[in-house]
Structure 1
Amino acid sequence: MPSFDSARDRFRLGPAHLGVLGCLYDGKTVTRDLVAAQGELRAAGLLSDDDAVIGELAELAGALAEPIVLVQIEITGGQGLTNHGAIVGNDACYTYEMWPGEAEWEYVRTDPATLVWALARIVGLRDRQAKPPAASVITTKIGAMDAGFAALADMDAASVEDAAERLSDLLSAEAGLTEPELTVFTHLLLQLNGNWRMTVAWNNREGKGTDVRGITVLDCGPLGYWLRERPAEPIAPGTITPGSELRLVFADTRRVWELITDLIPDAGELPAPVER
């Protein structure tokens, strides 16, 4: 069910609720498949009986309908894939998050000046205090990492030592790595908490299309953060194969913060100034 926390200016909304808002924003009749969601919005006090949207929700609807900047975050972990992000509109900025297994997102009003902080929190950025390992750059193939993940899925009952040995043997054959890269890569896969992909898109100032920047980072727990330099973001669908180059580079927390900051366009890159 949709809901609104007025004290913190945040909403819980599902895809169907957003569909209703889209119809109303465009002045269209709510389609039959969205009538139930329309009723839920009314029951929650977010819509009046004549479909007038409360002011706070109207600002979110406007940002969703006419975004200046869109941030999309895909986080893959032990509970699968979750989608998060941010929307910067003319009059308001919101971040949104989902919970594994939940159908709704939580939208929170955010000051644009604190957007980087909010994005860093969403991806769980923290000071790992990890030191650069013996090999701070790993270069292999995507297929080697995929083979490693497949092998780990079959090692649930294996001890850490046994899993490391078996994975190292596999990667030695699949990845073509030698020491110290082989050991470092083995333990990166063993310690992986999850990985996240952050993509930022906006209509460029020249009005000639959409500009996109992105990064993918692996969170390897005590082994720190690793930036996937190759394949480089943004990636077009269908362009990665098992034979594609994989290049992982160790990045301390400060560097990851800088990478997130660099994704956000400056006012001069946008078609209209945005207060920051």
Structure 2
Amino acid sequence: MPSFDMSRSRFRLADEHLIVLSELATGDEVPDEFTAARKELVGCGLIDEDGRLSPLLRPMMETVLSPGVVISLETAGRQGKLHHGMLIGERHVVAHEAWPGTAEAEYSRVEPKMLVWKLADMVNLQQSPAGRETAPMTVETAIGTVEAGLAVLESGRPAHASAEDERAAIRAALAAGSGGGPVPEPLAGLISEIRATWRLTSAWRTRAEGGDGVESRGFAVWDCGPLGYWLRELPVEPVSAELIGPAGPFRLVRVTAGAVWARITDLLPDDGELRRAAPGARTAG
């Protein structure tokens, strides 16, 4: 069910609620398939019977309908996949954060000066003793090998299985996935310690001679808990799943939390790039 916290200007909305709000905000008819979602929004007071939006929603919807920069955060871990993100408009910044096992995401306004801090919080960026080590470490293999190991985590650990049992299953899966080829020694340990893997991408429209274009940046990280942060250098982000295959190269490099912070900062366009940005297309977040 949709709900809101007036004191902190935050809202819990499912995708269908946001679709209804977007249609009403632009003066369009709400399709019949979203009648139940519309009734829920009326019930919680975010719209009235005539479809007028609560004034509380105006800053958020202004940004959702016309963002200048869209930042997407995709995470995967033992609780499945989640999609978070941030929309940067002309006057406001709106973050949306999913929650495992629920249809609703939390939408909240972010003070622009706190934007990088908010993104760091969304990926749970923390100092790690392993991350402070200065000696670099690189792990290289094939994408298919890594996917075989990650499939063990996705299948879930049986109730009777220990952490060592799981690690043994990961080693076996990696060996099978490599087709008899070499498997980097640290890889099984990294996979077994994964808290989350995540990828951050930013995109904005630009105007240039000859027409409109899109600029994008991105990077991906493995958060391996006590084993620190690992930047996925290959495949390079942003990347389309259609362009990579099992035989493609895969490379992880251990990095510090400070290096991750710098990467987050570099995602954002500079002032000159923002001035050249075209108004964003309508989006449901």
- Aligned-residue offset at 1:20: 1.0
Question: Is 1:136 matched up with 2:140?
Answer: no
User: Which of 265, 270, 274 lines up with 1:270 in the alignment?
Assistant: 274
**Secondary structure, in 3 states, of the residue corresponding to 1:270?**
helix
TM-score by length of 2: 0.86
Q: Which residue of 2 aligns with 1:94?
A: 94
Q: Matched residues in 1 for 2:62 and 2:233: separation?
A: 35
Q: What is residue 69 of structure 1 aligned with on the other side? A: 69
Change (3 A) 1:140 1:54: same
TM-score (norm 1): 0.89
Unpaired runs of at least 5, structure 2: 278-285
1:254 paired residue number: 258
Residue 239 of structure 1: how far off its partner (Å) = 0.9
For residues 82 and 164 of structure 1, the distance between their equivalents in structure 2, rounded to whole angstroms, comes to 24
Count of residue correspondences:
271
- Retained in 2: the 8 A contact 1:217–1:225? yes
Cα distance, 1:17 vs. partner? 1.1
Q: Are 2:224 and 1:220 equivalent residues in the alignment? A: yes
The amino acid that maps onto 1:222 is P
Q: Note the C-alpha offset of 1:101.
A: 1.1
Deviation for aligned residue 1:58 = 1.7
Partner AA of 1:141 in structure 2: A
Q: CA deviation at 1:154?
A: 8.3
Q: Closer, same or farther in 2 for the Cα pair 1:88/1:238, shift >3 Å?
A: same
Per-residue deviation, residues 206-232 of structure 1 (Å, max 9, x unmatched): 362111111111011100010111000
Structure with larger RCO (C-alpha < 8 A, sep 6+): 2
Q: What letter corresponds to residue 226 of structure 2 in structure 1?
A: P
Separation in 2 of the partners of 1:130 and 1:232? Answer: 24
Show the 5 A alignment for 1:119-268: 119-131=119-131, 132=133, 136-151=137-152, 153=155, 156=158, 157=160, 159-161=162-164, 163-164=166-167, 167-168=170-171, 171=174, 174-175=177-178, 176-177=181-182, 182-206=184-208, 208-268=212-272
Of 139-148 and 35-44, more deviation after overlay is shown by: 35-44
1:15-56 deviation line (CA, Å, top 9, x unaligned) = 111111121122111221122222221221111232221222
> Matched residues in 1 for 2:228 and 2:94: separation?
29
Superposition deviation, residue 183 in structure 1: 2.4
Aligned to 1:117: 117
User: How high is the sequence identity, in percent, across the aligned residues?
Assistant: 40
- After superposition, the Cα gap between the structure-2 partners of 1:267 and 1:154, relative to the gap in structure 1 and judged at 3 Å, is closer
- For residues 136 and 173 of structure 2, the distance between their equivalents in structure 1, rounded to whole angstroms, comes to 19
Q: Does the 8 Å CA contact 1:70/1:202 hold for their aligned counterparts?
A: yes
Please give the alpha-carbon distance, in whole angstroms, between the structure 2 residues aligned to 1:173 and 1:16: 42
Q: C-alpha distance in 2, partners of 1:57/1:167?
A: 47
C-alpha separation in 2, matches of 1:166 and 1:34: 45
